[in-house]
A and B are shown apart, each in its own frame.
Chain A
């Protein structure tokens, strides 16, 4: 199972095995990772599962859809060039070793 690291704003790291086919959001919420709210449950409607992706891995991820792009503009924490919604990132084998940082706030 690909191993993904979620880094909290205070630097604390949580390493989780996330099954292929699950989203990074589901991986986090099913393990109780604080800081990923996912209020809409993964329907791409709320922008409360915002993460900053390791910039070196950005190009390997599926592209941002128009919906995700619009939602990220309304995210509670600053949008950066490596901002993504974790509900839109479905884990594949090559996600192994991916590091994502959590923003200060989701609402």
Chain B
């Protein structure tokens, strides 16, 4: 680990690699690279250092600000006038660099134009709309749990965390059968692209063309089954609420953010339940805890680790003055374990009251698909808890590397049936 952290007046950092960007005076400085393999392997110690360094910290490697405490992350998420999304929510500043794809109409916009597009997705993914999917998603989860119980030993990432969302989400959107294998690489690319120009991002962009081509084609109205979420987005163009081109881009948002996120959320929950047997026993004894077990895993692992904002004017955080046009990196995962906000934050506790965690973000850009994610998580964990008596890790796990998403590549587990 080559990171170093210093407070002003504490003698300065002796970093192995000199920061590329000079620190503004008076600000705590860190040489951490939150887009490095070392960081992905163990972010928690560094999260702690960033939280303790101050309310805002300068990351010299990338020339950006970081907030890692719950309060500051929450405040930045809720102050869109000062911390905008329209200049991109990755390292890249859209005011200075051309985005790798046409910007999202929701994620990478600000009010008022954001609100018009967001209203369509709010409706398509509303509590009432998601309720209609409940029976289908629950039945698919029960079938998946039965099949896994027959297998007993399997890799929980491809066989469960990926397989289950892939068995419900593409059908819910109304996607064509052919080409669905492009979904995860496309999402992986989009989440890598929020990071800096590192090897992960470059490699993803080098391989991007076929995935982009399939997704672009799939977002068109004629390629979406009637009655699905995609068709419902397009229906909003019939009333003039959005244009048909905007509908295409909004369906792209569903495909970008609707699958890899739930894969990593469910993967996180399985990883937690396999690691903490007392919590599995609690869930097994009362499967109605499935929904909170999933929610707590989203807090505990924070599958979406980070997002950026860009300052629209000079602003003060604590004693530090940030200039206009500066990137601010929000550590959602660190906020979700901030001891200032959470009691015993490093414990996975399925009975915890998780309301207020920022694993789905907060404020006007908060995850619009959160209800579908919770439904998938609840259904899958509930089905497992009802059918399996135990779950244990029986092999070497492997972490997946992505500039934004936290999750595993491989998690060999064994489950046993009741009795």
Which A residues lie at the B interface, using CB under 8 A? Answer: 29, 32, 37-43, 45-47, 67, 70-71, 73-76, 107
- Min C-beta distance of B179 to chain A, whole Å: 31
A70 close to B122 (CB less than 8 A): yes
B362 close to A39 (CB less than 8 A): no
CB-CB under 8 A from B356, the residues of chain A are 29, 38, 41-42
B131 close to A40 (CB less than 8 A): no
B370 close to A38 (CB less than 8 A): no
Docked CA distance A76–B303 (Å)? 27
CB-CB under 8 A from B69, the residues of chain A are none
A39 close to B363 (CB less than 8 A): no
* Number of A-B pairs, beta carbon distance below 8 Å: 57
- Beyond A29-B355, A39-B355, A43-B362, whether A74 also contacts B127 by CB under 8 A is yes
Decide yes or no whether B93 CB sits under 8 A from chain A: no
- Beyond A71-B126, A74-B127, whether A39 also contacts B295 by CB under 8 A is yes
- Min C-beta distance of B77 to chain A, whole Å: 10
A sample of 15 inter-chain contacts (CB < 8 A) reads: A29-B356, A39-B295, A39-B355, A40-B370, A41-B355, A41-B366, A43-B363, A45-B368, A45-B371, A46-B370, A70-B122, A74-B127, A74-B131, A107-B374, A107-B378
Interface of A is mostly: loop
Residue in A32, A40, A67 whose beta carbon sits within 8 Å of that of B366 in the complex: A40
CB-CB under 8 A from A42, the residues of chain B are 355-356
- Beyond A45-B366, A46-B370, A46-B371, whether A73 also contacts B353 by CB under 8 A is no
Docked CA distance A76–B126 (Å)? 12
CB-CB under 8 A from B327, the residues of chain A are none
Number of interface residues, chain B, beta carbon within 8 A: 25
CB-CB under 8 A from A37, the residues of chain B are 355
Docked CA distance A40–B374 (Å)? 11
A45 close to B291 (CB less than 8 A): no
CB-CB under 8 A from A41, the residues of chain B are 355-358, 362, 366
Docked CA distance A72–B356 (Å)? 20
Q: Give the residue name and chain of the A residue nearest to B134 (CB).
A: A107
A32 close to B374 (CB less than 8 A): no
Docked CA distance A69–B399 (Å)? 43
10 nearest interchain CB pairs?
A74-B127, A74-B128, A38-B355, A41-B356, A47-B127, A43-B366, A29-B355, A74-B126, A73-B128, A41-B355
- Min C-beta distance of A9 to chain B, whole Å: 16
Q: Give the residue name and chain of the A residue nearest to B375 (CB).
A: A107
Residue in A39, A70, A73 whose beta carbon sits within 8 Å of that of B370 in the complex: A39
Docked CA distance A21–B336 (Å)? 24
- Min C-beta distance of B355 to chain A, whole Å: 4
Docked CA distance A39–B291 (Å)? 10
- Min C-beta distance of B377 to chain A, whole Å: 11
A46 close to B363 (CB less than 8 A): no
A-contacting residues, B74-132, CB 8 Å: 122-123, 126-131
CB-CB under 8 A from B130, the residues of chain A are 74
Docked CA distance A46–B375 (Å)? 12
CB-CB under 8 A from A74, the residues of chain B are 126-131
CB-CB under 8 A from A76, the residues of chain B are 127, 131
Q: Give the residue name and chain of the A residue nearest to B361 (CB).
A: A43
CB-CB under 8 A from A45, the residues of chain B are 122, 366, 368, 370-371
Decide yes or no whether B360 CB sits under 8 A from chain A: yes
CB-CB under 8 A from B128, the residues of chain A are 70, 73-74
Docked CA distance A42–B363 (Å)? 9
- Min C-beta distance of B300 to chain A, whole Å: 16
